[in-house]
Amino acid sequence: MSTPASPTPASPHPAVPFGQLRKPEAGNEALRPDPNAGRRSAISAKAFSSWYGSFQALHSLSMEVPVNEVTALIGPSGCGKSTFLRWMNRMNDMISSARAEGTLDLHGTNLLAPSTDVVELRRRVGMVFQKPNPFPKSIYDNIAYGPRLHRSMGRSDLDDLVEQALKAAALWNEVKDRLRASALGLSGGQQQRLCIARAIAVGPEVLLMDEPCSALDPRSTAAIEELISQLSEQYTIVIVTHNMQQAARVSDRTAFFYEGRLVECDETERIFTRPKHKQTEDYVTGRFG
């Protein structure tokens, strides 16, 4: 995309990455991960089950979410994929009847443990929701909201951070002249990119996306999808989607859920070309679901 007015050269990525996880510089061979190191898991579930009251939403599933890859969760409605996603940053804590068993690790520490600092967990595991949900505040204040919660920083540092987050979300050029305008005046697609910028401004390691394009038109969807591929260089991304083409386009790995069970989880290409299970094949070829 062209960024003629931008002071920095047109780069899809900001010069300074957010958060502690920094993708090794290209050219630095010593730091470049070997193919197997890419399998390092950001999140791993073992024998993970979840209930809403007496209804079991997830049945003892085990899977890995590799670092700096896009993992897509697909499956028909009510299959538990969103439930699984919302456990990864404990958003399910808001639902009093929800409980879980088994382990769900973020870089080796069980995030289900009662001792987990949920506030810190959510800073490390950001989330983008189905419907764009900007705060009824200015564009600037939306982005600055997260950073202001966690640290006090000077005016210019904050300005910088807001700019970088907006650039990372490919929104800077559209809004740089109206940062003080209400975020509610943006289009749906812009609002969703704003929400992504807001999520990465706190420097998360993992980004959870719950059907981020389902409320958007095709053009905005394309913009978000491009953004997802760009962001995956810096962030581990887990995306729930109903749209199988979208899963095929943006993800490296795909997990197919059916009726609360993980049927299959593999390289996206494999899932869509030669899945191991008949159910997966039926679903991805559109025979049901």
Partner 1 sequence: MPSTPAIRADRGQPSSQAGRVALNRGFLLVCLVATNFAVLLLAVLLISIAYKGLPWLFDFASIKASFSEGGDGFAGFKHWFRWEFFTEFTSRKAKSAGIRAPLWGSVWVCAICALTALPVGVGTAIYLEEFAPRNRVTRFIQTNIRNLAGVPSIVYGILGLTAFSRLFRVFGADEAWSIGDPESLFYLQLPFGQGVLAGGLTLMLVILPIIIIASQEAFRSIPNSLREASLALGSTKWQTVWNVTLPAAIPMIMTGSILAISRAIGEAAPLLVLGVPLFISNTPINMMSDFTILPMQIYNWASRPQEDFHGIAAAAIIVLLVVLLTFNAIAVFIRQKLHRSLA
Q: Contact positions toward partner 1, by CB under 8 A?
A: 89, 91, 94, 96, 119-123, 126-127, 129, 131, 133-136, 145-146, 149-150, 182, 184, 195, 198-199, 202
Torsion of CA 94, 206, 117, 92, to 10 degrees: 20
Pairwise CA distance, residues 268 & 281, whole Å: 12
Nearer to partner 1 by C-beta: 193 or 198? 198
> Judged by CB, which is closer to partner 1: 57, or 85?
85
Closest to partner 1 by CB, 202 or 265: 202
The two three-digit tokens of residue 281, written as one number: 């094949």
Give least dist CB 132 to partner 1, A. Answer: 9
Residue tagged 């760009």 (tokens): 230
* Alpha-carbon distances, residue 127 vs 24, 174, 236, 250 (angstroms): 24, 23, 12, 17
Q: How many C-alpha atoms does 200 have within 13 Å on its Cβ side?
A: 33
> In whole angstroms, how close is the CB of 183 to partner 1 at the nearest point?
11
194/263 Cα distance (integer angstroms): 34
- Indicate the residue among 91 and 239 with the shorter CB distance to partner 1: 91
Residue 285: CB minimum distance to partner 1, A: 28
User: Which CB, 71 or 191, lies closer to partner 1?
Assistant: 191
CB of 193 to partner 1, least distance (A): 14
Least distance from C-beta 134 to partner 1, angstroms?
Answer: 8
In this structure, what token pair is assigned to residue 51? 């209930």
